[in-house]
């Protein structure tokens, strides 16, 4: 079987309150990945700013922007210059009072290939996303690009096997998760390790269960809680790529800014699915209860 190698860049970095500086750092990461041969570059969740969802503050809606808009123009020009596909993550202002956490896929010619609005929205201490984001309404639909059909999801979506399965059933050749996740500094080390390992295991399991590679890109660094109600978040990095059997292909640092490039053999999914035909053996005639919140 002919090998089809796709080089993917993962840009993992820390953020500050200076949006312009964050953009400069992100741009440099993209250029570094392209210089290493990447034709697809994935950015972390909400990379323009600090992770603002630690507190509920209406003034922070000023960070939102339209799509298309300033950021998509900027990354569109960069994608066209470097002849690459870029996956960016933006705070979308759809209308006054209507906002989304949205991933945008920029094609090599600088146009918008498609977007995905985050479907699962958390509401936990330090992650008050329901205050800011309306749940997505675009469904679980892969985005067609020159480098393949991309199943783009966002952060909290990565804990839901249903989302990964629906993307795979619609023909996604890669599952991609821009992410912003970290530790509560008050948790002890053992608890922190359990949380990080569960995060990695969950996504590797999506790769296994669907026979497709997974790309997950997280941020690093400490960000304080401006409300002072918590001790902030220590983002745990660990960006990684896994193959269609869950095998680790590349794994970033826990605390360092890194731009990594990994080779994905897109032909391997075909080989793996021939051996492990999970889609063939699904018993959809007995899955009706999956459409219930809970079986009482």
Distance CA 65, CA 93 (A): 5
Does the annotation count 291 as an active-site position? no
Does the annotation count 155 as an active-site position? yes
Distance CA 158, CA 20 (A): 29
Q: Given the residues 7, 25, 45, 129, select the one marked as catalytic.
A: 45
Contact status, residue 120 vs residue 104, Cβ threshold 8 Å: no
Q: Given the residues 53, 118, 173, 223, select the one marked as catalytic.
A: 118
Q: Given the residues 7, 25, 92, 155, select the one marked as catalytic.
A: 155
Does the annotation count 45 as an active-site position? yes
User: What are the catalytic residues?
Assistant: 45, 118, 155
């Amino acid at each position: 079987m002919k090998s089809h190698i796709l080089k993917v860049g993962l840009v993992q970095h820390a953020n500050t309150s200076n949006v312009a500086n964050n953009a400069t750092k992100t741009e440099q990461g993209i250029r570094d990945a392209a210089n290493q041969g990447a034709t697809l570059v994935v950015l972390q969740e909400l990379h323009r700013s600090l992770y603002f969802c630690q507190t509920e503050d209406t003034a922070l809606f000023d960070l939102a922007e339209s799509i298309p808009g300033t950021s998509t123009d900027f990354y569109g020009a960069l994608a066209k210059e470097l002849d690459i596909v870029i996956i960016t993550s933006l705070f979308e202002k759809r209308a006054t009072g209507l906002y989304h956490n949205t991933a945008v896929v920029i094609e090599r010619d600088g146009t918008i290939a498609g977007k995905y609005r985050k479907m699962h929205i958390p509401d936990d201490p330090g992650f008050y996303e329901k205050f800011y984001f309306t749940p997505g309404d675009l469904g679980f639909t892969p985005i067609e690009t020159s480098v393949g059909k991309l199943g783009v999801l966002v952060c909290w979506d990565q804990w839901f096997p249903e989302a990964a399965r629906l993307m795979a059933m619609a023909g996604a050749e890669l599952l991609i998760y821009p992410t912003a996740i970290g530790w509560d500094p008050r948790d002890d080390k053992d608890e922190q390790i359990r949380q990080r390992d569960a995060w990695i295991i969950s996504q590797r399991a999506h790769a296994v269960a669907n026979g497709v590679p997974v790309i997950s890109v997280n941020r690093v660094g400490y960000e304080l809680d401006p409300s002072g109600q918590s001790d902030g978040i220590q983002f745990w990095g660990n960006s990684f790529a896994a193959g269609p059997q869950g095998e680790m292909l590349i794994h970033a640092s826990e605390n360092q800014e890194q731009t990594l490039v990994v080779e994905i053999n897109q032909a391997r999914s075909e080989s793996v699915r021939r051996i492990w035909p999970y889609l063939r053996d699904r018993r959809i005639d007995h899955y009706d209860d999956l459409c219930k919140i809970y079986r009482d």
